[in-house]
A and B are shown apart, each in its own frame.
Chain A
Amino acid sequence: MATVRIPPVLRPKTGGQAEVEAGGADVGEVLRSLTGDYPNTQEQLFGEDGELNRYVNVYLNDEDVRVLQGLDTAVKDGDTVVILPAMAGGASRLAN
């Protein structure tokens, strides 16, 4: 099993959990296991073509899977998969 780190914006889809366990031999299987357990995460992680959305970065431990073998990157027991969308919060203006 791998640990999947859930970004704050997706936590409402995982019952508020910041980390969930998910099984799979590669990154794609781990993420599909996640979307199986928490179906609402599906459309935010994957496009209709089944590829990862470009605005979602996925890391295996500390390395971007895009510079590894993408969704085919092998995952070992105890690995951490980090899902990371961009954030822009800072000055936090009130919405116009």
Chain B
Amino acid sequence: MAIDTERVQTIEEIEPFEAAEEIEGGDVVLIDTREPHEYQEAHLDGGKLVPPGVLADEIGTAAPDKSARTIVYCRSGNRSAIATAQLQQLGYENVASMSGGILQWQEQGLPVVSPSGMTPEQRERYSRHTLLPEVGVDGQVKLLNAKVLLLGAGGLGAPTALYLAAAGVGTIGLVDDDVVDASNLQRQVIHNTERIGMAKTASARIFIEGLNPDVKVVEHNGRLDASNILEVISDYDIIVDGADNFPTRYLLNDASVRLRKPVVSASILGFDGQISTFVPYEGPCYRCLYPTPPPAELAPSCSANGVLGVMAGTMGTLQANEVIKIVLGKGEPLVGRLLLYEALGTSFTELKVRRDPDCPICGEHAEEIPESEMGQFPDYDQFCAGAGGDR
């Protein structure tokens, strides 16, 4: 846009303290001409956001009265000077730019609105998140308030926990009854050599708390079974399934459908991984995909067959990505899609997964479960008898 240099030189500039007096006196239209992420971090009380790129289009809505006293500010005073000149060209009669911007305003101890309630340390820590329009301050606050349960603090759980903790997921629950073994360390990067023999939940807690003090770690040092699963998962928003055995996977599926909790589910073996996201009634459930578990010879375990360590990182971080998208409500989670990754060929394959109308758990004919039977589940060990998994 061409700017009339004559007018640029003749705009009115006022100091922050002068602006503060005018604002306190009332009858001032206050325009914030920065980008949305800057506005979200902190702005002046009453400031209306009109980013520079859309000034001409949106100023009429924010400031309909061209004769009203209008004060424009930005970060340091440059963008607001340009905007003030533009507003004069658009016919605004009484507009001023606040010199020094919100930086000088804050230096002088004047108050700003921080909608997030994030601390200065959090604003610094998560600044690369809040810069993203898809996250922003609002999204970061959602992450800080999110509660995510990880089934397994092992191969898949380790990288998932690391990235969720770094991302500021406020509560991370860890279910595992195992202790750190030397053979875990080739892929379970949340543990280390010194902590061999320590409970995995305790070892993971040490790493997470060292990484990010914002995260509350809840240890569930045991196994999920029919007697405790509803109580454990009901406290969480999202469940991440990295379980090592079929009985737990089916139990988790059936319980999470009952409580309508999304489950991000992945598995790895050798150089192969698969991942999908099950959101009850929005997409298929685990039983729609796998109605019955395979026999043992078709379900060898990592401990019997081996797994490339980095597979845990690849699939675990994909799980973390799914969790973050669900928390933010952004993007397209893998609902109704199964993603296969084959590491030797570095190839990804996506398959469609449909809801099964005859699914005994989430299908059309699945029976409503009365409250009294909510915590009763079939015998999954029996159901999966002969099935694989290294239980």
Contacts and interface: CB of A to CB of B under 8 A. Distances in A.
A90 B156 contact: yes
A47 to B, nearest CB: 11
A88 B183 contact: no
Contacts of A55: 290-295, 298
Nearest to B184: A92
B348 to A, nearest CB: 12
A59 B349 CA distance: 11
Contacts, number: 139
B176 A91 contact: yes
Contacts of B184: 92
3 A-B pairs with least C-beta separation = A91-B154, A91-B152, A90-B242
Interface stretch (B74-82, B225-233, B262-270, B368-376): B262-270
Given A8-B271, A9-B299, A64 B352 contact: yes
Contacts of B136: none
A87 B299 contact: yes
Interface in A43-96: 44, 54-57, 59, 62-64, 67, 82, 84-96
Contacts of A10: 298
A58 B154 CA distance: 30
Classify chain B's interface size: 35 or more
Interface of A: 5, 7-10, 18, 44, 54-57, 59, 62-64, 67, 82, 84-96
A88 B292 CA distance: 13
B239 interface: no
B155 A67 contact: no
Contacts of B390: 92-95
B295 A93 contact: no
Indicate the member of A54, A82, A84, A90 with the most B CB atoms within 10 Å: A90
Nearest to B175: A91
Nearest to B388: A88
